[in-house]
Chains A and B, each alone.
Chain A
Amino acid sequence: NSKVIQTPRYLVKGQGQKAKMRCIPEKGHPVVFWYQQNKNNEFKFLINFQNQEVLQQIDMTEKRFSAECPSNSPCSLEIQSSEAGDSALYLCASRQGANTGQLYFGEGSKLTVL
């Protein structure tokens, strides 16, 4: 059973609407990753954080995607203006600090953009 909690499990949005997903990482895991998994099983790395700081992110040139991991609050990923191509499973994963590289994923938030 996953200890990374993602909400909501499903969301349906119209084109142009905002979509927001949340993630509570596993307790004691300061590093959080967001991935997008499309219907062809392609994983796309979006962004990762260590505590509240961004470590690496893709070039979100469209500026439609934003993410944060505030202190004492769930992490979040928001799409400002949803497009049909954004329909996918959005996966949050967390990792312990130190040298372990093992990522543990949540169940995901499945976004459908109509």
Chain B
Amino acid sequence: QQQVRQSPQSLTVWEGETAILNCSYENSAFDYFPWYQQFPGEGPALLISILSVSNKKEDGRFTIFFNKREKKLSLHIADSQPGDSATYFCAARAGGSNAKLTFGKGTKLSVKS
């Protein structure tokens, strides 16, 4: 049973467009949702995160929109750049800051110039 689902599996956008990556979850106890960016051959890097008490979080070109009722969130990458081409993972956590993260399987983003 996959608790965190991501869609699409892969996404291609043109440079300058907004990429929208989706994530949904099943466990109502999840209260913290980080997004990680991973380049081939590297470890995941924390990009942006949101707590379930908020419905939006912005950091530069990256914005998370969160819908608690529908158990859905999305990552919007504005003005996409070729350097944003990577795999993006949505993760979720329940049970406090020492609890494990549960990851989705990722969305592979390609930004064409």
Please give, as numbers and ranges, the residues of chain B lying within 8 Å of A101 by CB-CB distance.
32, 34, 49, 93, 97
| Contact A104–B103 (Cβ < 8 Å) | no
Contact residues on A (Cβ < 8 Å of other chain), bracket: 20 to 34
| Contact B44–A91 (Cβ < 8 Å) | yes
Interface residues of B in 55-113 (CB under 8 A from A): 87, 89, 91, 93, 97-103, 105-106
How distant is A89 from chain B, measured CB to nearest CB, in Å? 8
Where chain B touches its partner, the secondary structure class is strand
How distant is A49 from chain B, measured CB to nearest CB, in Å? 10
Whether A48 contacts B43 in the complex (CB less than 8 A), given A41-B105, A41-B106, comes out as no
Whether A50 contacts B98 in the complex (CB less than 8 A), given A41-B105, A101-B93, A102-B49, comes out as yes
How distant is B60 from chain A, measured CB to nearest CB, in Å? 17
How distant is A25 from chain B, measured CB to nearest CB, in Å? 13
Whether A41 contacts B46 in the complex (CB less than 8 A), given A48-B100, A95-B97, comes out as no
Q: Which 8 pairs across A and B sit closest by C-beta, in order of nearness?
A: A43-B103, A105-B43, A45-B100, A101-B97, A107-B43, A41-B106, A108-B43, A105-B44
Query: A residues near B, CB below 8 A?
Result: 2, 4, 6, 31, 33, 40-43, 45, 48, 50, 55-56, 91, 95, 99-108
